[in-house]
Structures are given as structure tokens and as C-alpha cells.
């Protein structure tokens, strides 16, 4: 049953692509996480496709994630055809209630609201669709100036996480103030930067997360050769490669994982905790419990058989070694 519904989902996506439009035909979109304008708060609460919304605090999902409708423009990269807005922005927030408690174990060290890509009722169904061959993970991020992040903390807003808890790649924020034990001087000079990191936690690309701009990312993952390549642009500028094809061998062959986006805030070390607990960022540490948010749009995954969508209806060739 699951396989049948997946086939339908895929063929309907491809049907849309092959319909005549002013945008030239590109490779398949394997997962589309761009919230349609009619996607509702009730859909979020029900974990309706394409989003699994269970990783959050005790309130309903729609109390942590706001669908901004037509009140805020998403990244212009995918929303310029005929000047039509085709998706709505998701503002993902955390507050002091954002303590995820899987299996009764409260993650008191974190504050987090994660949205997980799913299809046919499960993230697992996407693995053999979006994480084979060479695929590209697109996401666009904008700060929420009314609910700013805290430069003294580390945040991990986007990652692919296998069940071993590692990240195939991730986006890290406030990277000048990564979690350290003992805590260093805060905030560090480049605390407003973002970093795209590989599986080994090494930085592939770093720049400033300016306010008022959509920051557009695309990460090309070669699942066979275990490499990564990063593309990036600001606002309506087309995506450009900002790295070469970089080895990512610390990700074991065949490793696949859930695609998360949202807001995961790490704690600071609490000097009052035992030395052992001070290293346990999941369960211990200092959180201020403030209301903070980050905006997302342009979430999708594509195959690279016919190039990479670069925005404004254009595509560029897959990044070659
Ligand atoms: C969550 O939504 C349900 C259904 O709308 C409602 O009954 C419930 O009170 C809400 N829970 C919270 C914590 O707001
Ligand atoms: C935040 O929640 C924690 C855990 O429930 C609690 O100990 C703490 O007092 C709260 N902080 C604020 C500022 O409300
Ligand atoms: C993905 O494909 C591999 C190899 O064919 C298979 O072993 C695995 O069970 C599949 N995983 C899922 C979640 O379908
Ligand atoms: C940011 O975190 C630091 C360290 O806990 C805290 O001193 C500061 O008050 C926080 N800033 C805001 C705006 O909450
Ligand atoms: C992957 O690695 C193989 C063996 O080293 C090589 O022949 C092939 O060109 C590589 N593919 C890409 C896309 O880099
Ligand atoms: C452990 C491991 O394989 N690390 C590699 C990850 O990728 C970087 C390049 O991006 C290599 O330098 C590391 O050796």
C-alpha cells in the first residue's frame, strides 16, 4: 500500500513538471516541502504530508510553527513566475516549553522544534527516493527580527540525521559561539555567521547570516561516492557553487537519515552541574527560555540527472569533481 501511494505521489509531481510552463523542464523533484498557500495550522497539527511535526515541546505543532500565508514573501528564487507567490513561509519558533520528550526522556538541555520531511506517512519512505545516486537538498533561511536568536548559543537549524545521531551535513548558526566545555568568551566575533558542515563537523562554507535577506542553500550529496558540494545565493540571485566536490567519507557507506529543518538550540554549560553532566548537552545546561524563531521557504529535494535548479527558471550542471 505504501509503495503504491508513493508511486502516485511521485508520478503526480512529475506530471506537474512535464506540464507546459514558462520554466523549462528540469530533473525530477523528489520531495517538495514548499508549503502550499492552502496548507493550514490544522494540517501542521495533524503532521500532514509533507511534514512530520512531532519533534517539539508539549504544545500543538501550530503553536510553535506559524504559516505566514501572504503576509510575508518567501524566497524569490522559486516564486517569481508571473509574479505569483506559490508557497508560504514557515516561521519555526522555540520557547521555554520546547522540550522534546521522546520515550519519556526529557531533552532538558535543548530547546527545539524540528520539522521532518516525510512521504506516504513516514520519513523512511523518502530514504530510497531522495538519498540514492546524487541528489540536491534545497532550503532558504531568513532571520525573524522580532524574535531574534541569541548570539551566545549554538543552533543547528538544518541537517540530515541517521539513527546514529550523526549528520550527513548540517547548517550551524551562531557558529562563532559553538557549544564548548568549558564555555569560552561569548559571543565570539563571528557569532552571526552560518556554517555548512560535513559529516565530520568540518566547515565547507561560512558567511554572515544578515538580517532582512533570504539566504538560499543547496547541498549536493553524492550518496555513492560520499561527497558534498554547496551552492548558495542571497535573495533573487541564482545559486552558485561555493565549494568544489568535497569528500565526506566519515559518513559510512549506505548511511541515510531523516531530513530535518527548524530550530535546535544548544545550551551553555551550567557550572552547577557535575563534570559528567556538563558534557551532556541533550539533558543538561543553561537555557534562557526565550521566544526565538527562524523563517524557512524553498525546501525541496531534486535529482541531478538534468542539472540543478538555480532559480529564476534556470538550471546549472551538477557540480563535478
Ligand atoms: C491542541 O489542539 C487541540 C485541537 O484543536 C485542542 O483541543 C487543544 O486544546 C490544543 N492544545 C493546546 C496545548 O493548545
Ligand atoms: C524553563 O523551563 C525549565 C524546565 O521546565 C524551568 O526549570 C525553568 O525555570 C524555566 N525558565 C523560565 C525562564 O521560565
Ligand atoms: C532501501 O533500499 C535498500 C536496498 O535495496 C533496502 O535494503 C532497504 O530496505 C530500503 N529501505 C527502505 C526504507 O525502503
Ligand atoms: C543570551 O544568553 C545569555 C547566556 O545565557 C544570557 O546572559 C542573555 O541574557 C541571553 N540574551 C537574551 C536576549 O536572552
Ligand atoms: C565516483 O567514484 C568512481 C570511482 O572512483 C569514479 O569513477 C566516478 O567518476 C565518481 N563519480 C563522481 C560523480 O564523481
Ligand atoms: C573522517 C573523514 O572521512 N573525514 C573527511 C570528511 O571530509 C573532509 C573533506 O571535506 C576530509 O578532509 C575528511 O578527511
pLDDT of 83: 56
Cell 548540517 sits at which residue?
170
Ligand in closest contact with the CA of 151: 4
Ligand 5: distance of its center to the CA of 247 in Å?
A: 12
Which residue's alpha carbon is at the smallest distance from atom 7 of ligand 5? Answer: 225
Q: With a 6 A CB cut-off, is 210 part of the ligand 2 pocket?
A: no
User: Can you give the CATH number for the domain in which 19 is found?
Assistant: 2.60.120.1160
pLDDT of 15: 33
Q: With a 6 A CB cut-off, is 60 part of the ligand 1 pocket?
A: yes
Give the tens place of pLDDT for each residue, 217-254.
999 999 999 999 999 999 999 999 999 999 999 999 99
pLDDT of 26: 64
Residue 319 lies in a domain: no
pLDDT of 257: 98
Residue 67 lies in a domain: yes
Residue 321 lies in a domain: no
pLDDT of 237: 95
pLDDT of 19: 30
Element holding 61 (H helix, E strand): helix 61-64
Which residue's alpha carbon is at the smallest distance from atom 6 of ligand 1? Answer: 60
pLDDT of 146: 97
Cis peptide before 187, with omega less than 30 degrees from 0? Answer: yes
Which residue's alpha carbon is at the smallest distance from atom 2 of ligand 5? Answer: 225
Residue 318 lies in a domain: no
Pocket test for ligand 1, best of 45, 57, 60 (most atoms within 8 A of CB): 60
Residue 229 lies in a domain: yes
Ligand 4: distance of its center to the CA of 288 in Å?
A: 6
In ligand 5, the atom with minimum distance to the C-alpha of 318 is: 13
pTM tops 0.75: yes
Q: How many helices (H) and strands (E) does the chain have?
A: 5, 18
pLDDT of 313: 82
Domain containing residue 35? 2-313
Query: Phi and psi for 61 in degrees, rounded to 5?
Result: -55, -40
Q: How many domains does the chain divide into? A: 1
Residue 320 lies in a domain: no
Ligand in closest contact with the CA of 198: 6
HEC letters along the chain: CHHHHHHHHHHHHHHHHHCCCCCCCCCCEEEECCCCCCCCHHHHHCCCCCEEEEECCCCCHHHHEEECCCCCCCCHHHCCHHHCCCCCCEEEEECCCCCCCHHHCCCCCCEEEEEEECECCECHHHHHHHCCCEEEEEEEEEECCCCCCCCCCCEEEEEEECCCCCCCEEEEECCCCCCCCCCCCCCCCCCCEEEEEECCCCEEEEEECCCCCCEEEEEEEECCCCEEEEEEEECCCCCEECCCCEECCCCCCCCCCEEEEEEEECCECCCCCCHHHHCCCCCCCECCCCCEEEEEEEEEEEECCCCEEEECCEEECCCCC
Residue 59 lies in a domain: yes
Ligand 4: distance of its center to the CA of 308 in Å?
A: 40
Low-confidence ranges of the chain (pLDDT < 70): 1-26, 80-83, 174-177
Amino acid at each position: 500500500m505504501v509503495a503504491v501511494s508513493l508511486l502516485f505521489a511521485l508520478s503526480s509531481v512529475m506530471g506537474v513538471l512535464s506540464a507546459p510552463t514558462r520554466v523549462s523542464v528540469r530533473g525530477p523533484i523528489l520531495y517538495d516541502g514548499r508549503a502550499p498557500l492552502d496548507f493550514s495550522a490544522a494540517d501542521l497539527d495533524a503532521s500532514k504530508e509533507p511534514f512530520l511535526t512531532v519533534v517539539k515541546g508539549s504544545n500543538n505543532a501550530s503553536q510553535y510553527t506559524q504559516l505566514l500565508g501572504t503576509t510575508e514573501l518567501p524566497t524569490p528564487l522559486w516564486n517569481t513566475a508571473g509574479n505569483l507567490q506559490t508557497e508560504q513561509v514557515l516561521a519555526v519558533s522555540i520557547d521555554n516549553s520546547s522540550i522534546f520528550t521522546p520515550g519519556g526522556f526529557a531533552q532538558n538541555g535543548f530547546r527545539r522544534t524540528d520539522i521532518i520531511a516525510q512521504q506516504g506517512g513516514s520519513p523512511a519512505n523518502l530514504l530510497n527516493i531522495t538519498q540514492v545516486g546524487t541528489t540536491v537538498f534545497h532550503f532558504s533561511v531568513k532571520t525573524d527580527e522580532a524574535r531574534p536568536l541569541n548570539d551566545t548559543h549554538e543552533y543547528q537549524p538544518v541537517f540530515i540525521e541517521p539513527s546514529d545521531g550523526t549528520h550527513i551535513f548540517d547548517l550551524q548558526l551562531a557558529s562563532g559561539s559553538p557549544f564548548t566545555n568549558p564555555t569560552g568568551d561569548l559571543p565570539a566575533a563571528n557569532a552571526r555567521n552560518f556554517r555548512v558542515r560535513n559529516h565530520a563537523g568540518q566547515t565547507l562554507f561560512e558567511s554572515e547570516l544578515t538580517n532582512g535577506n533570504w539566504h538560499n542553500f543547496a547541498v549536493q550529496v553524492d550518496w555513492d561516492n560520499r561527497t558534498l558540494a554547496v551552492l548558495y545565493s542571497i535573495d533573487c540571485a541564482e545559486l552558485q557553487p561555493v565549494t568544489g566536490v568535497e569528500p565526506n567519507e566519515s559518513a559510512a557507506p549506505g548511511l541515510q537519515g531523516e531530513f530535518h529543518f527548524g530550530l535546535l538550540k544548544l545550551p551553555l554549560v551550567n557550572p552547577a552541574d557535575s563534570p559528567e553532566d556538563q558534557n551532556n548537552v541533550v539533558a543538561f545546561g543553561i537555557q534562557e527560555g526565550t521566544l526565538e524563531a527562524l523563517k524557512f521557504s524553498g525546501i525541496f529535494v531534486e535529482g541531478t540527472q538534468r542539472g540543478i535548479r538555480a532559480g529564476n527558471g534556470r538550471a546549472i550542471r551538477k557540480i563535478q569533481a
